[in-house]
Amino acid sequence: MDLLLNVCILKSNLFKHRGYIVPMSYIELGYVPKDSDLLVMFKVEPPTGRDLRYSADKIAEESSIGTWTELKTLLPEIWNTLRARVYEIDERNGIVKIAYPLELFEIENMPAILASVAGNVFGMKSVENLRILDMKFPEDLISAYPGPQYGVEGLRDITGVYDRPFLGTIIKPKIGLPSEMHAKVAYEAWVGGLDIVKDDENLASQDFNPFEERLALTLEMRDRAQEETGEKKIYLVNITSPYNEMIRRAELVEEMGNEFVMIDVVIAGFSALQSFRREGFKLAIHAHRAMHAAITRNPKHGINMRTLAKIYRILGVDNLHIGTAVGKMEGSKGEVKDICEEIQMKKVPQREDRFEQIWGHVKPVVAVASGGLHPGLVPAVVDILGNNIVIQAGGGVHGHPDGTRKGAIAMRQALEAKMQGIPLKEYAKEHEELKKALEKFSH
């Protein structure tokens, strides 16, 4: 009955123009999405005086083949093949689901895909607020992308760490240290027991810390720390810069024997990331999400982080910052867990607020918890996110009363306690570094 009603509505919204049947509505509630369709779930707030159907129709129109007026050039074959279809409207929750035929897109062009489904629609007067809650990528699209080169298993193989989360730090202060001091701080963190040291998001190649010098000195300290500890150490050097320079820096990183680069993926852009992944480097990509909150934070407008995380997984990052739920950065426990599931599961089950997503050949991504962490928060982060994560503390390491090395030791002790099922306060009775960290940070 619903299907018949919608067919009647669709027919009533057509008119003849110079021999063509020109459509007036993109709402087709009886439509069953094809396996090849790209699906988008929108949270929609219509403008004053308009209803959800009106806004839904305008979103589908603008994000596929239509515009604000009837078109003499909109041929029936275009309408039949390429139009988006609003196939579900949830009036109570303001949710609209739209199916896009894959023929609408250049499949191996993520920037162009996003220009359609997440482009002009956010600026239209026909919506008061608009937020993308999820996108479902069909197998025909996913199979065209390489995904992560290494992912979770690859990082474990590189480091030889298989039975616990990874521990990392960010050099602090985030900017200002000369190259030699930067390298020495990294060394202290590594010999204290951390696996990973990374640059912060705004450390590039400033005069006080030039890229080439920093890379050479820090890798020298990495090699020394590996020799002294017998453990593999990782340096995440930030190569974010104009694309040609980013490639030059990546070539230098690879020539000098480092395995990882860091890219500020939101700032660098989808095009740069997609292109970089296809350059043929053997480098793993650590994806920092700086500036994401400009897109993700407003709960009424923009794109949520889970959707961005799916895109970055497709494009091929190996590590991705996802938040902590317990540190200084915004993001609830549920939101952060959802992102972690989306980048690590092979099949994400359907829920009221998300699509089922099957990931096929795409490898799981290492989730990076970073932002206001310290040893006292290690158990909570592991409980929330599991083992396939990097627990990354900047101030929580370098702010230790006895300095960076002791701060790193305290982080390692906190993780040892968690993995052994021992409460931190009990473990701290015989571990002075952890005791001092808890006294400073856990209040």
Backbone angles phi, psi at 53, to 5 degrees: -60, -40
Match 């960076």 to its residue by tokens: 404
- Identify whether the C-beta of residue 336 lies closer than 8 Å to the C-beta of residue 370: no
Locate 140 and state its tokens: 């025909």
Peptide bond into 364 cis (omega under 30): no
Locate 246 and state its tokens: 């980013």
Helices (H), 160-269: 179-191, 211-229, 243-255, 265-268
- What does the angle CA 287 – CA 293 – CA 297 come to, to the nearest 5 degrees? 135
DSSP string, 142-155: HTTS---SSHHHHH
Active-site amino acid positions? 172, 288
DSSP string, 84-124: -EEEEEETTTTEEEEEE-GGGS-TT-HHHHHHHHTTGGGG-
R_g (Cα) of the chain, nearest Å: 25
- Identify whether the C-beta of residue 434 lies closer than 8 Å to the C-beta of residue 410: yes
CA torsion 118-122-126-132 (nearest 10°) is 60
Locate 311 and state its tokens: 């895109």
The residue ranges of DSSP E strands in 332-375, in sequence order, are: 347-348, 357-358, 366-370
- Residue 96: CB partners within 8 Å, gap ≥ 6? 41, 42, 43, 44, 52, 55, 56, 59, 86, 88, 89, 90
CA-to-CA distance for 376 and 374, rounded, in angstroms?
6
- Residue 29: CB partners within 8 Å, gap ≥ 6? 2, 6, 86, 87, 88, 89
Distances (CA, A) of 5 to 28, 30, 58, 386: 10, 9, 21, 48
